[in-house]
Structure 1
Amino acid sequence: MQAAPLLKDLVLVGGGHAHVHVLKSFGMKPMPGVRLTLIGRDIETPYSGMIPGFVAGHYSFDECHIDLARLSAWTGARLIHAEAIGIDRDNRQVLLKDRPPVTYDFLSIDVGSSPSVDALPGAAEHATPVKPIAELGRRWLAFLERVKDWQGSLRIAVIGGGAGGVELALAIDHRLRAIAHKAEVSVTLTTKGEILSGQAAAARRKIRAIFQRRGIRLLENVATTRLEDGTVLLENGERLAVDDVFVVTEASAAKWFAGTGLPLDLRGFFAVEPTLRSTGDERIFAVGDCASVATHPRPKAGVFAVRQGPPLAENLRRALLGQPLQPFTPQSRYLSILGTGDGHAVATRSGWAIEGAWVWRWKDHIDRKWMRMYCEPPAGPMDMAARNAPPDPALADAEAKRLLADIGMRCGGCGAKVGANVLTRVLGRLGPSPGSNVTIGLDAPDDAAMIEVPAGQALVQSVDFFRTFIDDPFAFGEVAAVHALGDVWAMGARPHSALALAVVPAAAERLMEEDLFQMLSGARSVLDRSGCALIGGHSGEGPEAALGFSVNGLVVAAKALRKGGLRPGDRLVLTKKLGTGVIFAAAMRGVARGRWIAEALAAMRTPSDKAAAALIAAGVHACTDVTGFGLTGHLAEMIRATGRGDEVSVDLHLDALPALDGAVELFAQGLASSLQPENLRARHLIDGMDRMAGHAKLPLLFDPQTAGGLLAAVPAEVANTIEGVVIGEVHARTEGRSFIHLV
């Protein structure tokens, strides 16, 4: 079914509690013609209500984090893994760190807050801030590894007497006493006022009693003046000797908020109306800890962020359609449940407080129920018919209405080309490629590019093209360029120039421009670093985005690396991990973890130029890149290309094969790339398939790779000096011996 043409971009910055609800809402009830994009610095977003339980050891990391990659896959949202650093409101763009900005029609911000570490001298150097919470999770796991064999005194200070500080101190005390068996654990909580100020006096009394019973030192009404290495200095002159410090002080706003020109409250957070829309820009919304509703001031707590999800989703829909927004008034009285780390909790509301194990079970039930809504795939398929239905005319501006009028009559000949205006603007934004000896190219356009080949060098050419498999067009452009240049690097050549073939789906003109610009910007970031000039190409419309390159390289012919040339005694070195095929097959089904996808993308976006240079310096005998045919297919090509193909065989060590995180686990679940069955035809070249049938890494031999590493044969004496993994040895082939022997 043809997807509805895109008319509007709704961009969410941050994976906070309200935004995950918006993702699910738009997934279950799509708005045809609206593209939903989530920009997140972290691929896994924590649920703040469960973090103290995670610190105490009651939850695993995965149990208290929402995987934004899987949630986006289930709901049809586009995920861009990047950090927002500002907003260009004049051009309606979100500014991102280390990559081009992303445009929006409507924007919502839910990036949370951070402790005010700048206000406490020495905190930035000598303390662990609790926010961003996503960083706390990783730091806490590393901290536990460091202290599990600790001997002697283990002294921890928590600074901040709000609900977060109280829960954290209790959780740390419980966890450390359980894991650091040889240590003498002592936890101190310091606060400049009373603990739990603003909550019921009954709650404060219960918490103080719990601290006393557990032996946790509580210092109230004593401000911290400075942190030094191993010391907390208090205003009363006391110096606390500590081994680590956790800061849970009053929340502060991100510094980039001030540069947006949007109205802020006195503490620097976005000022929003009861509709959750900015008081200064009708296209921007903000929720959660990063925003304040002046008419309904509330504490910065997860309970309010969760409640903002449904009204935010509804008002974003209304804004897209030009309808009046609905105000939202949060409850003034709310239930607060504080975990004490030891399987108990204290519940407080208004003037009362109760404590018990059953209160913890109640909290645990509430938290797990909320997490299941966003961590488990939908029970039934999403409404694809609704997603592909014609867009509501109210979404369309004049330019978009022209697209809707002729969408059914767009021709597939020259009319399938991207419009000249779009292309001209994209090329202008990209700017010229760094200098090369291209006589005619983008800097001096003509009907074709013209290249001068230096005397004594040969021109190496290759081509690659594939449709997108990720939603981030910039990252896709990077991967496409690395993949295309792989053949040039595998031959020991220097990349010189490239022609692009880009396909973008029909959409409003400015959306097509942005998609094309993002793809080519990602590609240019790789091409430019590799000294490869983009000299031209072709762009067209299609049902889905696709990108490829015809690349040129230069090499002295006599020094070119070839697939053939394996010598008995050589070691086989692989420069990248395997598993991209199965990981992205799983990603398309929404079952690959976000951190697996992130690691795979990082490898795929890494050029092989340095690896190729190291292999050349080591005296490499033969080389190829591992791509669609999988490791076995490309290794078989190297064996066949050596002599008549019957001179050598290879011992391949399955245990040594480097695998991307998640790949082996996904194979065990029965998942595989759609190309893997074709690659399995090479199994007849392998001896030991039956013997190794149960080996967890066996499927890696046939997994197709995108932008994979180099596979090279190097002399044995230098194999361990090269950055890569030795996976086998080359032998003289004897009669009856298979091409590849598994060991």
Structure 2
Amino acid sequence: MKSTAPIIKDLVLVGGGHSHVAVLKMLGMRPVEGLRVTLVTRDVHTPYSGMLPGLIAGQYSLDEAHIDLRPLCEFAGARLYHDTVTGMDLDAKQLACKNRPPVSYDFVSFDIGSTPQTHNVPGAAEHSTPVKPVDQFLERLAELTRTIESNPGDSLRVAVVGAGAGGVELVLALEHRLRTILRAQSTPETTLECTLFSASSDIMPTHNPRVRKKLSRILDERGIAVRRDCRVQRVEPDGVIDTAGTHHPFDAVMWVTNASAPGWIAQAGLATDEAGFIAVDDHLQSTSHPGVFAAGDIASMSNHDLAKSGVYAVRQGMPLAENLRRIAQGRPLKAYRPQKNFLSLIGTGDGYAVGSKSLLAFEGDWVWKLKDWIDRRWMEQWDELPEMEDDEATDVDVQIDSPTTREALSAMAMRCGGCGSKLGHTVLSRVLQRLDVVERDDVIIGLDAPDDSAVTRVPDGMAVVQTVDFFRTFIDDPYTFGRIAANHSLGDIWAMGAEPQSALAVAVVPYGVEDKIEQDLYQLLAGAVDVLRDSGAALVGGHSGEGAEMSFGLQVNGLVDPDDILRKGGMQPGDALVLTKPIGTGTLFAANMRQEAKGRWIDAALDTMAQSSREAARCMREHGATACTDITGFGLLGHLVEMTRPSGVDATLDLDKIPLLDGALETTAAGIFSSLQPDNIRLRRALQNMDEAADHPVYPLLFDPQTAGGLLASIPAERAADCVSALRRGSYAHAAIIGHIAPRTDAPAPIRLIL
């Protein structure tokens, strides 16, 4: 649920761990009016630790073992920034990120988990695979799987370093997964060797002796060697060396040792424990900085000695959500009391499990069924979110209230609504000073010396190409929106064979207190300026204002030699049609608004939309393009019609050759379309065989409106294959020949579809 209340405070959640997913759901069910929530996360699909061994063993699919954070954020009305936090400024209350400008906060909570220590063992970081980050570990597992499948009969030696519960579960899951592949190939199972390294005299030292005995027996029965009192001193490309100097040869080394925290946490000045984890009190609040909270593995409770276990992260979700709500409202916090004992269930990868609680231990396939039932039930709550179709369906919590808030709201109420509700000079000046805009010799008056208008010089013999685009945001990340909007606006310039010169921006940011407006405007313009800088264009001015939602657009000027203008109307019979990007953004973002798109689909679409068409345009010109356009709001068919008519030609489109974004077929099959789709469908009269093609799964996507779509060009047939090869060698992996141009016929419609 997106709130229309003015933004007063920013809560930033760093990491999509087990605690934060609960925070998102609870704040979605009961939002705090005036509190804006932002999730900054490295992983949009966050793995559930309880199912990870089952995923490795092949018992669960990727989706079954991961929580999709995008629909959860949509439900919570939270912004999702797909990025990694690399540092923080506690005085400025800002988080440094890997791929974007700093993110400001009033309150921040960390739930980023932990990673196995590799820095203290030479070669471990270079030659071993830590179990976290999980996506990288799964890539390594996929490599091992391919190795076995492509080299049947070859031996494979795998080591797991670290014999805690995580290491034991991992080696059992790995052994089962790899041996299952061998059995399917009828390959002798003796070709697989799995070894577990324990630095102590026993495995799982924090568990009771009965559990250790049961799992030691199972490891032995499965033929998994356990090297006890064997500490790895160094990792090499072909194996490990222990403290006795013995070399143990291995083809793959997996690392599951003691947990470690990112070094920047302590460097920022946060109080930490001896291992570098954030020190928190019983409120899950930093012991040194009251506006900072932490939960899960990254947190170290000063009054409780807790193991690094997903059980605690799950249990901390509700108290963390409550305390984040309370601190935003200026209310007293509530203490969280961790349980002393909990049920531990350890899967063995083959439909069997060992369980324990306190001094009890038990095993059997029934234990695995119990674990599977518990894990699936927990995951269901993130897959089946309550439907929130109107404001009455959400229990809105009390508004943030403080003297500072009341003063800010009073100032907002008195703000002038004239002049397009433009932003104040102070805010604009601060934002413009922070932007790194391109300086060009042909810009006479620009942002460096603002005047009533910008003034640029047109070089002799050049013509000016002008275009403008403006649209509402479709994502809650202003920096990414700014990047995509700039790419979208530049598409027309590239399509005409021009080089961008200057741009004027028009920005509307949501109502809020002054510092929130400033941050939104800066993030938005920073994204646009990053793209303009790469294109060589200077931002020379514009207009900004406040509104109910964020909107943005650019008026872009480009320069082109009049003899080199590439137009829509130059297609020649025999040309091939080349498309540089996959289509499907309209249906995917319509599905995203309904919480029915997978996060990885949206991420892939955003990556494509943020990709510049600069090099694609250059490549197409080099290969003799006769006509070109960029695919945007009218969809693929609409823009092709705009090319065939002035060219006086017909065209064929091969539906099976059109590149599609992941998920686009699924969302259109589910009947999810952009609001612009009905208008675009009217163009179906341009099709010669519409009735025949209507049942083809790609047919609806011909009318799907695109944002920052690819270029569509006609290329001489003899050069088209080389053009596509060159595009793919670059960054346009989906570039394809999707049809051909034919002479104009007497057919009632110019375009024929190949099914």
Scaled to the shorter chain, the TM-score interval is over 0.9
Asked if 1:188 corresponds to 2:204, the answer is no
The whole-number CA distance in structure 2 between the counterparts of 1:436 and 1:471 is: 36
Match of 2:227 in 1: 219
Q: Give the SS at the match of 1:27.
A: helix
Q: Give the SS at the match of 1:454.
A: coil
Per-residue CA shift, 1:613-652, capped at 9, x if unaligned? 111111110001000000111000001111xxxx310011
Where do 5+ consecutive residues of structure 2 fail to align? 728-734
**TM-score (normalizing by structure 2):** 0.95
The whole-number CA distance in structure 2 between the counterparts of 1:436 and 1:737 is: 52
The whole-number CA distance in structure 2 between the counterparts of 1:382 and 1:244 is: 53
State the shift of 1:212 in Å.
Answer: 1.2
Asked if 1:654 corresponds to 2:655, the answer is yes
State the shift of 1:687 in Å.
Answer: 1.5
Q: For 2:743, which of 729, 732, 743 is the aligned residue?
A: 732
Q: Give the SS at the match of 1:607.
A: coil
RMSD: 1.7
State the shift of 1:70 in Å.
Answer: 1.2
Q: Is this contact kept in 2: 1:10–1:107, CA < 8 A?
A: yes
- Worse-superposed segment, 681-690 or 195-204: 681-690
Within 5 Å, which residues of 2 pair with 1:78-477? 78-151=79-152, 152-181=154-183, 182=187, 184-193=191-200, 194-379=202-387, 381=389, 383=391, 392=399, 394=401, 396-398=402-404, 400-405=405-410, 412-414=417-419, 416-477=421-482
Q: Give the SS at the match of 1:91.
A: coil
The whole-number CA distance in structure 2 between the counterparts of 1:269 and 1:519 is: 33
Q: Which amino acid aligns with 2:426?
A: N
Q: For 1:520, which of 510, 525, 543 is the aligned residue?
A: 525
The whole-number CA distance in structure 2 between the counterparts of 1:236 and 1:634 is: 70
Q: Give the SS at the match of 2:50.
A: helix
The whole-number CA distance in structure 2 between the counterparts of 1:382 and 1:290 is: 37
**TM-score (normalizing by structure 1):** 0.97
Cα–Cα, structure 1 residues 397 and 568, in superposed 2: closer, same or farther, change >3 Å? farther
Q: Which amino acid aligns with 1:173?
A: E
Q: Is this contact kept in 2: 1:5–1:506, CA < 8 A?
A: yes
Cα–Cα, structure 1 residues 57 and 742, in superposed 2: closer, same or farther, change >3 Å? same
Q: Give the SS at the match of 1:164.
A: helix
- Worse-superposed segment, 466-475 or 285-294: 285-294
Q: Is this contact kept in 2: 1:258–1:268, CA < 8 A?
A: yes
Asked if 1:741 corresponds to 2:746, the answer is no
Q: Which amino acid aligns with 2:743?
A: A
State the shift of 1:412 in Å.
Answer: 3.9
Asked if 1:61 corresponds to 2:68, the answer is no
State the shift of 1:99 in Å.
Answer: 1.4
The whole-number CA distance in structure 2 between the counterparts of 1:280 and 1:580 is: 45
Cα–Cα, structure 1 residues 308 and 522, in superposed 2: closer, same or farther, change >3 Å? same
Within 5 Å, which residues of 2 pair with 1:672-687? 672-687=673-688
The whole-number CA distance in structure 1 between the counterparts of 2:704 and 2:224 is: 54
- Worse-superposed segment, 412-421 or 295-304: 412-421
State the shift of 1:738 in Å.
Answer: 2.7
Asked if 1:598 corresponds to 2:603, the answer is yes
Q: For 1:493, which of 498, 504, 507 is the aligned residue?
A: 498
State the shift of 1:230 in Å.
Answer: 2.2
The whole-number CA distance in structure 2 between the counterparts of 1:162 and 1:560 is: 66
Q: Is this contact kept in 1: 2:230–2:242, CA < 8 A?
A: yes
The whole-number CA distance in structure 2 between the counterparts of 1:258 and 1:717 is: 61
Q: Give the SS at the match of 1:62.
A: coil
Identity %: 51
Q: Which amino acid aligns with 1:348?
A: S
State the shift of 1:572 in Å.
Answer: 0.6
Q: Give the SS at the match of 1:188.
A: strand
Q: Give the SS at the match of 1:210.
A: helix
Asked if 1:573 corresponds to 2:578, the answer is yes
Q: Which amino acid aligns with 1:208?
A: S
Q: Which amino acid aligns with 1:163?
A: A
- Worse-superposed segment, 405-414 or 339-348: 405-414
Q: Is this contact kept in 1: 2:436–2:529, CA < 8 A?
A: no
Q: Which amino acid aligns with 1:185?
A: L
Per-residue CA shift, 1:285-330, capped at 9, x if unaligned? 1111111012101110100111111111111111112222222121
State the shift of 1:147 in Å.
Answer: 2.3
Q: Give the SS at the match of 2:27.
A: helix
Q: Is this contact kept in 1: 2:388–2:394, CA < 8 A?
A: no
Q: Is this contact kept in 2: 1:568–1:648, CA < 8 A?
A: yes
- Worse-superposed segment, 299-308 or 133-142: 133-142
Q: Is this contact kept in 2: 1:32–1:387, CA < 8 A?
A: no
The whole-number CA distance in structure 1 between the counterparts of 2:505 and 2:410 is: 30
The whole-number CA distance in structure 1 between the counterparts of 2:50 and 2:551 is: 41
Per-residue CA shift, 1:668-694, capped at 9, x if unaligned? 111111101110111011122221222
State the shift of 1:237 in Å.
Answer: 4.3
State the shift of 1:379 in Å.
Answer: 4.8
The whole-number CA distance in structure 2 between the counterparts of 1:431 and 1:599 is: 28
Q: Is this contact kept in 2: 1:48–1:133, CA < 8 A?
A: no
The whole-number CA distance in structure 2 between the counterparts of 1:438 and 1:209 is: 77
Q: Is this contact kept in 2: 1:4–1:388, CA < 8 A?
A: no
State the shift of 1:397 in Å.
Answer: 4.8
Q: Which amino acid aligns with 1:190?
A: F
Runs of 4+ in 1 over 6 A off after TM superposition: none
Q: Give the SS at the match of 2:603.
A: helix
Q: Is this contact kept in 2: 1:149–1:180, CA < 8 A?
A: no
Cα–Cα, structure 1 residues 217 and 45, in superposed 2: closer, same or farther, change >3 Å? same
Per-residue CA shift, 1:187-210, capped at 9, x if unaligned? 111111121102100001000111
Q: Which amino acid aligns with 1:37?
A: T
Q: Is this contact kept in 2: 1:582–1:667, CA < 8 A?
A: yes
Q: Is this contact kept in 1: 2:33–2:400, CA < 8 A?
A: no
Aligned residues: 736
The whole-number CA distance in structure 2 between the counterparts of 1:415 and 1:538 is: 9
Q: Give the SS at the match of 1:6.
A: coil
Q: Give the SS at the match of 1:481.
A: helix
Match of 1:554 in 2: 559
Asked if 1:509 corresponds to 2:505, the answer is no
Q: Which amino acid aligns with 1:144?
A: T
Q: Which amino acid aligns with 2:87?
A: G
Q: Which amino acid aligns with 1:733?
A: R
Q: Is this contact kept in 2: 1:271–1:293, CA < 8 A?
A: yes
The whole-number CA distance in structure 2 between the counterparts of 1:334 and 1:2 is: 39
Match of 2:730 in 1: none
Where do 5+ consecutive residues of structure 1 fail to align? none
State the shift of 1:383 in Å.
Answer: 4.8
